[in-house]
Amino acid sequence: MIIEAKIDKLDFTIKKVLLGGRLEEFKAFLSRNKVAYHNSPCYLTVHLNPTKLRRPNVIYNDTMEHNLQMNIGLLKKFLEELELYVNLEVLNVKEVHIAKDRLMEYPAETYNAPLINDQTRYKGRTKAYEINNGTTPSVFIGAENDSLNNGSSGEVNYSKDDQLESELGVDEITPLEPLEPEEIKMIGKGYSKYTGRVKLDEINLRRSERRLKGDKLLLFPHTGDKLTVADITKMIKEGTLLDTINKIYVDEKIRTIFPNKKEPTKDNDLDKFLVSSSMSRFDNLFSAMGLYQNYKEYTNSVISEDDLLLEEIYQKFVIK
């Protein structure tokens, strides 16, 4: 599914000495699977993107080069083949990105301001600020002294449809796994039943990505003092990986972004009406009656536009 939590990045290190005379063979194995790595004198750092593992017997085109779906079976197979080269228990995980993609009511960047405007919503030294990831403005949320590429637990939020259009040069994507009926219904007119593709300019797809390093990796079940690839494999075999990454994602989002969530106040039919789109046509009416200020104070006390947007984030990224 596109909308389920997924591991978008899994970085781990390998001591070259453990590969013996099979180093070049191992590099060829990574290249064959389109897995990038960094070569240093004593180590290889493997940058595994489970969402980009190649499906067998599929001829890829640009519309298929997205990272929206993770196939657990493919990840399991890759790790089983990896174990033929080296013991997975000695492969220490360095970084994990847990991603969620959600279809929103408005363009993804609409939700940036509510996360930035009220910094008092965050606890401790957490902060939020806008960054530019090369496509559309994004929001990074993390510890006060953290940046996009450091810190133990940060979150990046951005427009996934804009990013895919920019990076792949396409205006639609081809799902690599069949979409669930629920997803097709949510995508609506953005889904073509004739081609099976999703039109990027017809959807508002927001990605929220939790980036974990250091001690935060120990939020995952682990057998030693560090998280290893063997621990990830164990979760796959036990069928607990998806539930685990979703729980970690939700818990970290609540801890950093919704420590004191404001519940929207819509107690009666009048309140519900006043915060709906129907209220806009009454601005002139109350102004002409000389009651505009009282009217706006009342509607703002019910719920603000920012509150509504934050509530949508909460409902779609935390509850669902």
Strand partners of residue 39: 44
261 within domain boundaries: no
Check whether residue 245 and residue 287 sit in a common domain: no
Check whether residue 279 and residue 241 sit in a common domain: no
The pLDDT, as a whole number, for residue 279 is: 52
Check whether residue 13 and residue 124 sit in a common domain: yes
Q: By the 8 A CB rule, do 167 and 192 touch?
A: no
Check whether residue 135 and residue 187 sit in a common domain: yes
318 within domain boundaries: no
Q: How many domains does the chain have?
A: 2
pLDDT (tens digit per residue) in 160-214: 999 999 999 999 999 999 999 989 999 999 999 999 999 999 999 999 999 999 9
Check whether residue 15 and residue 131 sit in a common domain: yes
198 within domain boundaries: yes
How is residue 78 written in tokens? 């890759």
264 within domain boundaries: no
Check whether residue 67 and residue 188 sit in a common domain: yes
Please state, in angstroms and rounded to a whole number, the distance separating the CA atoms of residues 235 and 238.
5
The segments of the chain whose pLDDT lies below 70 read 123-125, 133-135, 146-149, 260-286, 292, 295-304
313 within domain boundaries: no
Query: Residue 33 sits in which domain range?
Result: 6-256
312 within domain boundaries: no
**Sheet containing 43-48: order of strands:** 36-39, 43-48, 6-15, 93-103, 205-213, 153-159, 137-143, 126-132
316 within domain boundaries: no
The pLDDT, as a whole number, for residue 50 is: 97
Check whether residue 12 and residue 102 sit in a common domain: yes
126 within domain boundaries: yes
Check whether residue 140 and residue 279 sit in a common domain: no
Check whether residue 215 and residue 74 sit in a common domain: yes
Q: By the 8 A CB rule, do 106 and 115 touch?
A: no
Region of residue 72 (left: phi > 0; alpha: psi -120 to 50; beta: else): alpha
- Contacts of residue 102, Cβ cutoff 8 Å, sequence gap at least 6: 3, 205, 206, 208, 316, 317, 320
Check whether residue 137 and residue 237 sit in a common domain: yes
Check whether residue 292 and residue 190 sit in a common domain: no
Check whether residue 12 and residue 104 sit in a common domain: yes
